[in-house]
Amino acid sequence: MSVSGARFADLLEQHRIDFSAGVPCSLIEDLIATLETHPRVPYVAAVREDVAVGLAAGAWLAGCRPAVLMQNSGLGTSLNALASLSLMYGLPALLLVTWRGYQGKDAPEHILMGDISPKLLTLCGIPHRVLSAASIEADLAWAIAEMEQRLQPVALLVPPGVVEMGRAHARAAGPPATRDGGGTPSPLAAVLEPRISRLVALGAALKPLGREPLVHANGYICRESFSLGDRPQNFYMIGSMGMASAIGLGLALARPHRRAVVFDGDGNLLMNLGILAQVGARQPANLVHCVFDNGVYGSTGNQASLSHQVRLDRLAAAAGYRTAVAVVAAGEVEAAVQAALGSEGPHFILVKVTREEAEAPRIPFTPAEIRDRFRASLLAG
Ligand SMILES: Cc1ncc(C[n+]2csc(CCOP(=O)(O)OP(=O)(O)O)c2C)c(N)n1
């Protein structure tokens, strides 16, 4: 038995939740899809989970009753905000934390966090329960009563199957996502119309590459690139969302005479936007930072990202990248990567792509295999 996103949102409303913020997880895509257009429980797309905790703190101080939606990977990201903001000041929030790695059955990046999620909540002193569809009304009533009485965050862990699945495909086929839960376009916005799929763009970007190390952001970017061709110099980041650009910068700084290439996603870059300033300040001439911008969190069900309203290439230019270009056609992608590999950087290439997702297999290597062959390829020169 599972509960639909619409029913879940109704129950949140009945419990007078009137503000929500979060980072998507596919386990609750149906709930997020409902909240994204909900008139009374508005959803704010946060760039990071701890930012969602901060948004909820502000909303509660302003008189709202907030909910924070996150994957348990984001519980790790949020620990400091929970400890030194929500728990220290006593700021209530309903934490809906999806439980990837539940019962040890999931992709490798979820196993450890899946094991320790309830323990982390216990360690922090955050009361928590495992949500079930059968007892959702009682679970929500308990959580709301606890957070009001204790004046602090309370968590419901949401295992797979509690919320109905399957909206991703409908959304992928539908009209382009154009909202992030509100907000007007910034002056940096200028619409770039996507023309090619990410798979086509990846194929074009891979063409000029020789033996350069290449770090892929997590999600479908890894999988589609792998489906086009594997090489030991490919680092497939299957977890640690946001970190591809940091790993690439680390490579570039440690090996200044060798190029380092990053294939990033818009959601990934937004989660770690400060990296732009770090690159701007350090000026690694050997860094090529490509962002495949489909305007959505594609890997978790196509929730809109902020890249509809904010031009990431212009942020990179303002942060001090030597070049920052935006491209939309396959020939332009190939030419931009070719030019970047042959000249002093740091270079930023925004590749605007459609939301189309190719059938692509999971990365078949273990994390240790990915590490070992990548490092060996670097040390071989
Ligand atoms: C800290 C954290 N929060 C949430 C997730 C769930 N997650 C996995 S991939 C992904 C979307 C990545 O978006 P983007 O970089 O735009 O790439 P796309 O999936 O669109 O190719 C999300 C939200 C995660 N892995 N880690």
Region 28-51: what's the mean pLDDT?
97
Residues 246 and 344 in one domain: yes
Backbone φ, ψ for residue 291 (5° rounding): -120, 120
Q: Is residue 125 part of a domain?
A: yes
- Specify the CATH number for the domain of residue 293: 3.40.50.970
The Cα 335–Cα 347 span in angstroms is 13
**What is the rounded distance in angstroms from the CA atom of residue 289 to the CA atom of residue 269?**
10
pLDDT of residue 381: 75
**Tokens found for residue 231:** 């090489």
Distance (Å) of CA 227 to CA 164, 363, 377? 29, 9, 20
Two tokens, residue 160 = 């797979």
> Do the domain assignments include residue 38?
yes
pLDDT at residue 17, rounded to an integer: 98
DSSP state of 83: I
Q: Are strands 154-158 and 303-304 parallel, antiparallel or unpaired?
A: unpaired
Looking from the CA of residue 76, the nearest atom of ligand 1 is 1
Which structural domain, as residue segments, surrounds residue 21? 5-165
For residues 342-366, give the mean pLDDT: 97
Q: 97 CB under 6 A from ligand 1?
A: no
Question: Which residues fall within 8 angstroms of residue 14, CB to CB, at 6 or more apart?
Answer: none
Q: What is the pLDDT of residue 64?
A: 98
333 and 190 in a common domain: yes
pLDDT cut 70: percent of the chain above it: 94
27 vs 161: CA distance, rounded Å: 7
Rounded Cα–Cα distance for residues 101 and 109 (Å): 8
Going by alpha carbons, the residue nearest to atom 25 of ligand 1 is 241
Q: How far is the CA of 271 from the centre of ligand 1 (A)?
A: 9
Mutate to test the pocket of ligand 1, among 216, 241, 293, 303 (most ligand atoms within 8 A of CB): 241
The answer to whether the CB of 268 is under 6 A from ligand 1 is yes
CA 337 remoteness from chain centre = 24
Question: Does residue 310 belong to any structural domain of this protein?
Answer: yes
State pLDDT tens for residues 63-80. 999 999 999 999 999 999
**Residue 188 banded pLDDT, cuts 50, 70, 90:** low
> What is the residue type of 206?
L
Are 321 and 371 found together in one domain?
A: yes
Whether residue 332 sits in one domain with residue 293? yes
Residue 134 counted as domain residue: yes
Distance CA 154, CA 20 (A): 14
DSSP β-ladder status, 214-216 and 260-265: parallel
Tokens of 180: 């992030």
Task: Using alpha carbons, list the distances in angstroms from residue 160 to 5, 18, 106, 156, 379.
Answer: 14, 25, 10, 13, 41
11 domain-assigned:
yes
Q: Is residue 82 classed exposed, middle or buried when 0-12, 13-18 and 19+ CB atoms within 10 A define those classes?
A: buried
Determine the Cα–Cα distance for residues 338 and 122; give it in Å rounded to an integer: 51
Say how many CA atoms lie within 13 Å of 65 toward its Cβ.
16
Q: What's the whole-model pTM score?
A: 0.94
For the segment 105-162, what is each residue's pLDDT rounded down to a tens digit? 999 999 999 999 999 999 999 999 999 999 999 999 999 999 999 999 999 999 999 9
Domain count, the chain: 2
In a domain, 196, yes or no: yes
In a domain, 172, yes or no: no
CA 86 to centroid of ligand 1, rounded, Å: 25
On whether both 245 and 153 belong to a single domain, the answer is no
